[in-house]
Structure formats: structure tokens, C-alpha cells
């Protein structure tokens, strides 16, 4: 190969993996200007390309050209650099990239040109610095090894030709990675505080899988090769195609063809509409919304997988053909269309009806003006029904207290039903929403009282001071040993781990949240490291559920690498009808022993209270000097808590109740006001 071609290939191999797809044409034009008339050298990868395609299929992935090109770029980078970074937004294929290459190289062992590859994964933020690099006891000065030391030594001691990839799957910052600089430069040595130096063998490659390099030091970045993975380069089609391929084997080709048409015709367009026209409380990625829709459909399709006990009959499969469109519409609404607020849902409903009519997929049995969020598709009866028709009529149990009454409303019934569908099929749910919308109550009510016996709940509440070691100790204390290296709930049980205030842990100096990184390590690698034995613990039979408020105040924005594993079920602000239903039911029950004249004013009290609350939201706005002017449904709850503390033995006329109601408003709303104009406003209201 002449020098021009050699230099051209070197420039391309070093730079092309780093670029965004929009920058590649610019780079190619520069190359053409610098090397006029020089043909791009063709590289023969032999059987590697075939092995990459086979490995992709084996992992239920689609070997589309952009993805295969990135796998080849990773392979080329590994050949010339012993330290490299896989960078890109979540869902771009970083993890799949190295797993496919690992599987491909290992499968080509017989050819002699490739060696088996062993990957050792570690999230550097799921443990402390001392637990990663080792530390000395401050009292006894006894040295304790860290996880990285154990992994490095094991890789160095391997005398075979097998390759070892040390994978750091987590945020890179200037604190922990500075100790890696001697590993990444030409020294190839890990220097420990104990004085020990571990020299890397030629078979070891150090990799970092990160979302961005915003807080990485230039000294580290300059030492590493780069491969940038971009979700937009592949789109959503590979995700959909892989899902179609893993549908139950009993599905006919007509089922798959219809689902293929529906998913590709509606999901990308629906996501684009959400991005352009709606506001999300929690930012999601396109591939996350697409995967959420596919997971929700899986909940309905898993029963069609053949088992030793039962195989779907011809009649059931015929009926399924008619149900596919309604099931898809329901899943689309409660995955892609659920992440937005009430106004956005109205817009999405109108858009979806236009698309259904345009694509001739109008569901039978529905009027064109039906609000799809108010309807549930009953698979057993093959019909659409109102959500409130799916539950029996409610009346508070006898001897109920004010705190113990949970009134089902349209919002709570539908959110709980979708949540239940996901959890029973072991899919993870994240429920963001404003304070006082019933997130914690609904989830706790289902997991604590209504869930099947095999589904055991573990309740955790995060705070700003939650430490990753505290979280790991709490969870490890719940698990039992199944077999060597494998832990989980008691036999034949499943843990539903509910984390409340999910976004409360305080961010570190460079933005990482270690408790969330520990959970993400379980999502991606199905376990974490035992801090005493420094061995990997596989955790099985677990379903993760979380609730959180909107970012702001003490609550933070959380990484998309965490969010992508969840179906996001956003709780909007409760509508006026739902609020009225809740408090009318409570007051009607608790005021039953009172005089009839008092019972007649309960609805008026509720209506008046909602008016006061809505006016406070509009007119008593928070400012820098009035930052505590934040009102939510808990304020209404506190007012009626005071009113319901009245005793029928003492109170015998409605005027006394009204005085109490005014007093409670002055305490709940009035005591928060800091100047006379605001207090005057409350009196007039």
C-alpha cells in the first residue's frame, strides 16, 4: 500500500468514529480536497463481517449498515489503542456494540486470527473510590483491595491468549479517572496507594461507556480512542424489527404483517408529534418511548406463547387478529401519549384520530370523538369500556378514618391499571408527577393490598443524603442466596422494589448520582459487586418501580441512561371532577352522623374549596421573596382534615361547620401569606 493510501486510511480510522452523522460529509469533502484522485483503500475483514451479522442475530439485534460500521470502527480502534471510549446518548447501541464484537471474536476462535474475549464490567459510580481502587483502614492501616484491583490482577494472571476488556460503564469525571491516566498512557500501569503497581498485559483493553464527556479532563480524553454512537443514525426501525422477530411462535404471518404496519406507521410519527407539540414532565428518548409501547403490547401477547400446559387455539388466534388494532392503539396511548400533561393528551388524542382515519385503521365500536384516555380495551370481551366500569362501586369501609380513605377516581383507576399490567409482567414503571396527585398512594395501595401473593413489595424512600452503600446494604439484606453468586427474593417470589422520591439523591460535584447508578448497574448487568468479597452478585426476580416529583427545588434531573429502562407513566394534575369526587365521598361518609342540614352543605364546601385552591394557584404566584407560595392538593386535604375533626356531639348547626372551614383556610393558606394585600385577597376570596 502506498503512502497516500496508508495516510488516508489512518486519518479515517482515527477521526470517522468520533463524528456525528451530519459532520461526516464535511470530513469526506476535506479528505477529497487533501487527497485528490486517491482511492479509498478497501479493507478485507474476512469472516469478521459474517460473524458480526450472525452475532447480531444471535442477540436479537438487526445488523443494519450503520450499526455494523460502528462495530467495525470499535474493532479497528481496539487494534491500535489499549484505552478507548464508547460515547453517545442512551439507546445509541454502545452496549450492544461491544457485546456483538465480543461474541463475534469469540466465535471465530477456530480460525486462529481471533481469540475469545472476556468482558469485566464495573460501574465506577456504584461504589466509592476506596472500594474501587482499594483503601487503608485509618486505624489499623490494613490494606483492603478494591474491585478494580481484583479484576486487573485476574486479567494479568491469565497466561492464555484470551482478550480481556475492562469496561467502565458509568459517568466519567475528573475525580476517579485521574488514577487511570497511567493506565491509559504508554506506561500501561495501574498505580495503587498501597505502593503496588499492576502492569497491563497486551491482551487487556480498558474501555469506558459514557453518555458524554462534559466533565472529563482533556488529559484523559487525549489518551483514549473514541467511538461515537448516535441513536438517530439507526432510527427506530431496528428496534421494531427485532421485536417483531421475537413475537410468540404461534403468531401467524398475518399477525406480524399487521403489527409491522401499525408500529412503523404510528410510533415514529407519534413520537415526532410529542416532540413538536407537547410538553413532557420528564425528558424521554425516542427509543425509550418506542420500547415502552412494545413492552406494553408484550404484556398482552405473552399469553400466546406456547407452553407444555396450553397452546393457543385456532379460534383464539382468529380473535387476536381482530384485537390487534385496539391493543396497539391502547398501548400507544399509554406509552407514547402518557408522558405529557393534560393539554398534551388532548392534542395527542386528536392527532391519533386523524392518523387512524388517514391510514384506514379506525377501531370498530368507537365514535370518532371518543377521548381514548378515558377508555380501556377489555381483551376478554373484545370491547372498549369506560375506566370506571372496570371497578365496583366504592363506599368507604366501616370505621374508616380520614387518613385511611382512598377514593378511586378516573385518574387513579387508569394509572393503577396500566401500572398493574406492567408490574405483573415484570416490566419496570416510573411515575413522575406533581405533589399530591396520588402517585405514592396508588402504588402503595396496589403493592401492599391488591398484588398477588407471589409479588412481595420492598418500600424505599430516597432523600438528598441517601448513600449508595446504604441502598446496597438495605437491598442485600432483603435477598436470599439462591446458588453460588446468585441472589433474589425467597423461592417462587418476586420482589417489587418501590423507590419513592426517586430523583432526591443529591448530585455529586460532577453530576453523578451513585444510588441511581447502582440501580442502573442492575438494569444493564443484572447485579452488583459484593463489597466484602468483591465478587459479582447476580440479582434475579426483581421488578423496579419508582415515583418522583418534577425536577426543581431539591429534586434533580436524572440521567436518561436510568430513565430508558422504565415505562414512564406521568401523573398529571388532578382534574376538578376527580378532586370533587374524592372529597365529596370522604365528607359524605364522615358527616353521616351529623345533622341533615350539615350533610347538605358538604358538596358546597368542596366546590368552594376547589375555587379557593384554583384562585390561589393563579393569583398567589411564587416570587423570589415568596418562594414558599407553592400550593398543591395536600393543602385541600389539610383543610378538610381539620373540618372532619369536628364531633357530632358538639357541632349541631351548619354555621359552626362553616366557621371551622374558614378557620382552616386561614391556617393552611393564610398563615403562608407574608403581606397585607395577599391576606386581604384571601379574605375577599
CATH of the domain at 675: 1.20.920.30
The answer on 245 and 295 residing in a single domain is yes
**CATH code assigned at 381:** 1.10.472.130
Task: Examine residue 39 and state whether it is found in any structural domain, yes or no.
Answer: no
Of 349, 320, 322, nearest in space to 334 by CA: 349
Q: What global pTM score does this model have? A: 0.90
Domain that holds residue 176: 44-234
Domain boundary residue, one of 390, 422, 441: 390
Look at 239 and 394; give whichever has higher pLDDT: 239
Task: Examine residue 6 and state whether it is found in any structural domain, yes or no.
Answer: no
Q: Would you state the pLDDT for residue 256?
A: 93
Once rounded to an integer, what is the mean pLDDT over residues 170-188?
A: 88
The answer on 134 and 82 residing in a single domain is yes
Number of domains in the chain: 4
Once rounded to an integer, what is the mean pLDDT over residues 141-165?
A: 91
Identify the H or E element spanning 5: helix 3-15
Domain boundary residue, one of 363, 390, 417: 390
Backbone angles phi, psi at 542, to 5 degrees: -130, 140
Alpha-carbon gap, residue 329 to 564, rounded angstroms: 22
Once rounded to an integer, what is the mean pLDDT over residues 502-527?
A: 93
Once rounded to an integer, what is the mean pLDDT over residues 235-261?
A: 93
Domain boundary residue, one of 520, 545, 574: 574
Confidence category of residue 405, pLDDT binned at 50, 70, 90: confident
231 pLDDT exceeds 90?
A: no
Helix (H, G, I), strand (E, B) or coil at 311: coil
Alpha-carbon gap, residue 453 to 447, rounded angstroms: 10
Task: Examine residue 20 and state whether it is found in any structural domain, yes or no.
Answer: no
The answer on 327 and 263 residing in a single domain is yes
Task: Examine residue 34 and state whether it is found in any structural domain, yes or no.
Answer: no
Write the CA distances from 592 to 32, 471, 595, integer angstroms. Answer: 86, 46, 8
Tens of pLDDT, residues 438-467: 899 999 999 988 899 999 999 999 999 999
The answer on 115 and 200 residing in a single domain is yes
Once rounded to an integer, what is the mean pLDDT over residues 38-56?
A: 85
Once rounded to an integer, what is the mean pLDDT over residues 619-638?
A: 87
Look at 667 and 219; give whichever has higher pLDDT: 667
Task: Examine residue 113 and state whether it is found in any structural domain, yes or no.
Answer: yes
Task: Examine residue 27 and state whether it is found in any structural domain, yes or no.
Answer: no
**CATH code assigned at 462:** 3.40.50.300
Confidence category of residue 274, pLDDT binned at 50, 70, 90: very high
Identify the H or E element spanning 601: none
Look at 651 and 58; give whichever has higher pLDDT: 58
Q: Would you state the pLDDT for residue 316?
A: 87
The answer on 217 and 76 residing in a single domain is yes
308 pLDDT exceeds 80?
A: no
Least confident of 90-99, 204-213, 342-351, 399-408: 399-408
Q: Would you state the pLDDT for residue 205?
A: 94
Q: Would you state the pLDDT for residue 577?
A: 87
Confidence category of residue 12, pLDDT binned at 50, 70, 90: confident
Alpha-carbon gap, residue 169 to 132, rounded angstroms: 13
The answer on 329 and 229 residing in a single domain is no
The answer on 207 and 322 residing in a single domain is no
Q: How many CB atoms are closer than 10 A to CB 46? A: 12
Confidence category of residue 1, pLDDT binned at 50, 70, 90: low
Least confident of 13-22, 186-195, 267-276, 451-460: 13-22
What mean pLDDT value characterizes the chain? 90
Task: Examine residue 537 and state whether it is found in any structural domain, yes or no.
Answer: yes
Place of cell 401477547: 301
Q: Would you state the pLDDT for residue 156?
A: 92
Share of the chain above pLDDT 70, in %: 100
**Dihedral (CA of 13, 18, 22, 26) sign:** negative
Query: Which value, to the nearest 10 degrees, does the dihedral of the CA atoms of residues 100, 102, 108, 109 take?
Result: -160
Please check whether residue 532 is in contact with residue 491, taking contact to mean a CB–CB distance below 8 angstroms: no
The answer on 256 and 200 residing in a single domain is no
433 pLDDT exceeds 80?
A: yes
Least confident of 16-25, 88-97, 402-411, 496-505: 16-25
The answer on 469 and 529 residing in a single domain is yes
The answer on 457 and 418 residing in a single domain is yes
**Secondary structure letter of residue 564 according to DSSP:** T
Task: Examine residue 166 and state whether it is found in any structural domain, yes or no.
Answer: yes
Tens of pLDDT, residues 568-614: 999 998 888 888 989 999 889 888 888 888 888 889 999 999 998 98
The answer on 463 and 319 residing in a single domain is no
**Secondary structure letter of residue 466 according to DSSP:** -
Least confident of 66-75, 119-128, 360-369: 360-369
Once rounded to an integer, what is the mean pLDDT over residues 145-150?
A: 92
Q: Would you state the pLDDT for residue 27?
A: 83
Share of the chain above pLDDT 90, in %: 53
Q: How many CB atoms are closer than 10 A to CB 331? A: 26
The answer on 594 and 531 residing in a single domain is no
Amino acid at each position: 500500500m502506498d503512502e497516500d493510501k496508508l495516510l488516508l486510511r489512518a486519518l479515517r480510522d482515527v477521526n470517522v468514529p468520533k463524528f456525528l452523522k451530519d459532520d461526516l460529509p464535511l470530513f469526506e469533502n476535506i479528505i477529497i480536497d487533501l487527497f485528490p484522485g486517491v482511492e479509498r483503500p478497501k479493507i478485507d475483514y474476512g469472516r469478521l463481517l459474517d460473524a458480526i451479522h450472525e452475532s447480531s442475530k444471535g442477540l436479537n439485534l438487526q445488523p443494519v449498515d450503520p450499526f455494523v460500521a460502528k462495530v467495525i470502527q470499535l474493532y479497528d480502534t481496539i487494534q491500535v489503542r489499549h484505552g478507548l471510549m464508547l460515547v453517545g446518548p442512551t439507546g445509541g447501541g454502545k452496549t450492544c456494540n461491544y457485546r456483538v464484537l465480543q461474541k463475534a471474536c469469540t466465535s471465530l476462535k477456530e480460525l486462529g486470527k481471533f481469540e475469545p474475549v472476556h468482558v469485566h464490567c464495573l460501574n465506577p459510580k456504584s461504589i466509592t473510590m476506596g472500594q474501587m481502587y482499594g483503601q487503608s483502614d485509618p486505624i489499623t492501616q490494613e490494606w483492603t483491595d478494591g474491585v478494580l484491583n481484583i479484576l486487573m490482577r485476574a486479567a494479568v494472571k491469565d497466561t492464555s491468549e484470551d482478550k480481556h476488556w475492562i469496561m467502565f460503564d458509568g459517568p466519567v469525571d475528573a475525580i476517579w479517572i485521574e488514577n487511570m491516566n497511567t493506565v491509559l498512557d504508554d506506561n500501561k500501569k495501574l498505580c495503587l496507594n498501597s505502593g503496588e503497581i499492576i502492569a497491563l498485559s497486551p491482551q487487556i483493553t480498558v474501555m469506558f461507556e459514557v453518555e458524554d464527556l462534559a466533565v472529563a479532563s482533556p488529559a484523559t480524553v487525549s489518551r483514549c480512542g473514541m467511538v461515537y454512537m448516535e441513536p438517530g443514525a439507526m432510527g427506530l426501525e431496528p428496534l421494531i424489527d427485532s421485536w417483531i422477530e421475537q413475537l410468540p411462535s404461534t403468531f401467524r404471518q398475518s399477525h406480524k404483517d399487521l403489527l409491522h404496519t401499525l408500529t412503523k406507521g404510528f410510533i415514529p410519527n407519534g413520537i415526532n408529534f410529542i416532540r413538536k407539540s407537547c410538553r413532557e414532565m420528564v425528558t424521554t428518548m425516542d427509543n425509550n418511548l418506542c420500547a415502552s409501547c412494545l413492552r406494553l403490547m408484550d404484556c398482552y401477547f405473552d399469553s400466546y406463547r406456547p407452553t407444555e400446559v396450553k397452546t393457543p387455539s385456532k379460534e383464539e388466534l382468529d380473535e387476536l387478529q381482530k384485537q390487534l388494532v385496539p391493543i396497539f392503539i391502547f398501548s400507544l396511548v399509554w406509552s407514547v401519549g402518557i408522558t405529557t400533561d393534560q393539554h398534551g393528551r388532548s392534542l395527542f388524542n386528536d392527532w391519533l384520530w386523524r392518523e387512524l382515519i388517514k391510514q384506514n385503521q379506525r377501531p370498530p365500536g368507537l365514535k370518532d370523538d371518543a377521548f381514548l384516555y378515558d377508555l380501556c380495551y377489555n381483551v376478554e370481551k373484545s370491547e372498549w369500556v369506560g375506566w370506571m366500569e372496570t371497578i365496583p362501586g366504592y363506599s368507604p369501609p366501616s370505621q374508616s378514618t380520614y387518613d385511611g380513605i382512598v377514593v378511586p377516581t378516573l385518574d387513579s383507576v387508569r394509572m393503577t391499571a396500566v401500572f398493574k399490567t406492567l408490574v405483573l409482567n415484570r416490566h419496570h414503571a416510573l411515575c413522575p408527577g406533581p405533589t399530591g396527585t396520588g402517585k405514592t398512594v396508588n402504588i402503595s395501595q396496589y403493592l401492599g393490598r391488591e398484588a398477588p401473593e407471589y409479588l412481595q413489595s420492598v418500600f424505599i424512600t430516597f432523600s438528598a443524603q441517601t448513600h449508595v452503600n446504604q441502598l446496597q446494604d438495605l437491598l442485600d439484606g432483603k435477598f436470599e442466596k439462591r446458588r453460588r453468586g446468585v441472589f433474589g427474593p425467597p423461592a417462587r417470589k418476586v420482589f417489587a422494589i418501590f423507590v419513592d422520591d426517586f430523583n432526591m439523591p443529591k448530585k455529586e460535584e460532577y453530576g453523578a448520582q451513585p444510588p441511581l447508578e447502582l440501580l442502573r448497574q442492575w438494569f444493564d448487568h443484572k447485579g452488583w459487586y459484593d463489597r466484602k468479597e468483591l465478587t459479582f452478585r447476580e440479582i434475579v426476580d426483581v421488578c423496579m418501580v419508582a415515583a418522583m416529583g418534577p425536577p426543581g427545588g431539591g429534586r434533580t434531573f436524572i440521567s436518561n441512561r436510568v430513565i430508558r429502562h422504565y415505562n414512564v407513566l406521568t401523573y398529571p394534575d388532578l382534574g376538578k371532577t376527580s378532586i370533587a369526587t374524592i372529597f365529596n365521598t370522604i365528607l359524605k361518609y364522615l358527616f353521616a352522623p351529623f345533622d341533615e342540614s350539615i350533610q347538605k352543605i358538604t358538596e358546597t364546601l368542596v366546590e368552594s374549596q376547589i375555587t379557593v385552591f384554583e384562585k390561589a394557584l393563579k393569583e398567589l404566584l411564587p416570587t423570589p421573596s415568596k418562594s414558599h407560595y407553592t400550593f398543591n392538593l395536600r393543602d385541600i386535604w389539610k383543610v378538610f382534615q381539620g373540618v372532619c375533626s369536628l364531633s357530632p356531639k358538639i357541632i349541631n348547626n351548619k354555621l359552626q361547620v362553616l366557621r371551622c372551614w374558614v378557620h382552616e383556610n386561614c391556617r393552611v393558606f393564610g398563615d403562608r401569606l407574608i403581606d397585607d394585600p395577599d391576606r386581604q385577597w384571601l379574605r375577599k376570596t
